[in-house]
Amino acid sequence: MALQVSPLAPESYPDLPVIAGVRFATAAAGIKYKNRTDVLLAVFDEGTSVAGVLTRSKCSSAAVDWCKANLGGGVARALVVNSGNANAFTGRKGQQSVEQTAAIAAKAVGCSVAEIFLASTGVIGEPLDANKFSGVLDTMAAALSDQPWMEPAKAIMTTDTFPKLGTASIDIDGVEVRINGIAKGSGMIAPDMATMLSFVFTDMPIKAEVLQALLGQHVKSSFNAITVDSDTSTSDTLLAFATGKAKGIEPIETLDDPRAEIFGEALRDVLFDLAIQVVRDGEGATKQVAVHVEGATSDESAFRIAKSIADSPLVKTAIAGEDANWGRVVMAVGKAGEPADRDRLSIRFGDLVVAHNGERAAGYDEAATSAYMKGDELELTASLGLGEGRATVYTCDLTHGYIAINGDYRS
């Protein structure tokens, strides 16, 4: 099925700089389709530290299990990603497949299997034949390049309608440090620890433990704050690789190092940029929606209420219909199971107060609200009036496009 490019696709793509110590290649290995780029090999110089957050699904894929086992080592030499087959729910065959893939990659790159990280995305339940990687990874390892980043971003796409790239650079100790990131994801998006697949690369010298702590912190307000369809993937994988090749900087060894916060903010910018791109490429999306909850009893409570609103099919179809149906927001607050007092609840669409203290706002302006709903970037705010807890969840609308993509898809 040929998918129309999302109306929310970016008008242009950023030109990502070289990250010293990172080289890559892409290839068509015929995983599912012929003549379609479906494998990414990224190779890192020695001394690269790695951190990751992975799906909490009880049915995680074989590649996720592999990464979990190897993250403890904290060092990476290569990443192999394939699209077209998730290698999830493939039992012992799946485990053998990742072992064999890692062995082929380790031989091609010249490192130990524990330094290989793997990710797979695509159909669930179909055994992945690792033999498909066998000549391919050798050829790729002999043709590595540090540019252009558009290639790896495209190689990991499945139902995505546009490639997702993000970059940031910061000054640390007078040296320019770079962070590049790529992501894929469009449906089955309600990340519990990460999105479908995202990989971030930096030349910052930073200890794996510190990188892990920063990643865990900033995933909360980026990938873990988005939802397309409330369905959490078996394959969610976010990995960050730090080559340490930015010259003349002492490594960050602890979280107390004041540079950790500066680096963390830049990392967060890249993660957030990529996460929003995933929402903007949500299956069938025509509008991007930020759902803010404030005045909740805690931030966690605010997050669960925001998620309840952002996941509600009735809220999302109303947005698709450009209908200022704030009653459905009331419903979604009410069903969240979190502390809420109907008679203190107020709701805003953009800056327009539509409901106040438990009933329609006195100054409710239907024409202005309807006009606001025609925009393609909307902000809904539910103000609970109970405490200081706040959170934001990002989502998209629910349209005929989502049904067409997922009701016609053949496993």
Under the criterion CB under 8 A, does residue 234 sit at the interface with a copy of itself?
Answer: yes
Least separation in angstroms between CB 196 and a copy of itself: 12
Residue from the set 324, 352, 353, 393 that interacts with a copy of itself by CB under 8 A: 324
Residue from the set 33, 69, 73, 91 that interacts with a copy of itself by CB under 8 A: 91
Stretch that binds a copy of itself, among 147-155, 199-207, 213-221, 226-234 (CB under 8 A): 226-234
DSSP H/E element including 81:
strand 78-85
Residue from the set 15, 171, 300, 359 that interacts with a copy of itself by CB under 8 A: 359
Under the criterion CB under 8 A, does residue 340 sit at the interface with a copy of itself?
Answer: yes
Stretch that binds a copy of itself, among 13-21, 69-77, 290-298, 310-318 (CB under 8 A): 310-318
26 touches 12 (CB < 8 A): no
Least separation in angstroms between CB 402 and a copy of itself: 7
Total Cβ atoms within 10 A of residue 116: 24
Under the criterion CB under 8 A, does residue 357 sit at the interface with a copy of itself?
Answer: yes
Q: Write down the residue that tokens 């024409």 correspond to.
A: 367
Stretch that binds a copy of itself, among 39-47, 74-82, 208-216, 322-330 (CB under 8 A): 322-330
Under the criterion CB under 8 A, does residue 321 sit at the interface with a copy of itself?
Answer: yes
Tokens of 232: 């959490």
Residues touching a copy of itself, count (CB under 8 A):
75
Rounded distance between C-alpha atoms, residue 358 and residue 23, angstroms:
57
Active site residues: 195
Q: Nearest 5°: CA angle at 25, between 21 and 26? A: 150
By CB under 8 A, what part of segment 32-51 binds a copy of itself?
Answer: none
Helices and strands (H and E) in the chain: how many: 11, 15
By CB under 8 A, what part of segment 361-400 binds a copy of itself?
Answer: 398-400
**Closest among 267, 205, 204, 281 to 238, alpha carbons compared:** 267
Rounded distance between C-alpha atoms, residue 277 and residue 283, angstroms:
12
Known binding-site residue numbers for substrate: 158, 184, 195, 283, 406, 411
Residue from the set 125, 216, 251, 385 that interacts with a copy of itself by CB under 8 A: 125
Tokens of 287: 């509008």
Under the criterion CB under 8 A, does residue 4 sit at the interface with a copy of itself?
Answer: no
Q: Nearest 5°: CA angle at 52, between 51 and 56? A: 150
Under the criterion CB under 8 A, does residue 58 sit at the interface with a copy of itself?
Answer: yes
Least separation in angstroms between CB 142 and a copy of itself: 35
- DSSP characters for 31-59? SSSTTS--EEEEEE-TT-EEEEEE---TT
Least separation in angstroms between CB 68 and a copy of itself: 13
**Closest among 105, 123, 124 to 115, alpha carbons compared:** 105
Under the criterion CB under 8 A, does residue 88 sit at the interface with a copy of itself?
Answer: yes
Minimum CB distance to a copy of itself smaller for 149 or for 349: 349
Binding mask of the shown chain, residues 138 to 157, with x at each position contacting a copy of itself by CB under 8 A? --------------------
Q: What is the DSSP letter of 295?
A: E
User: Which residue type, as a one-letter code, is found at position 295?
Assistant: G
Minimum CB distance to a copy of itself smaller for 17 or for 125: 125
225 touches 191 (CB < 8 A): no
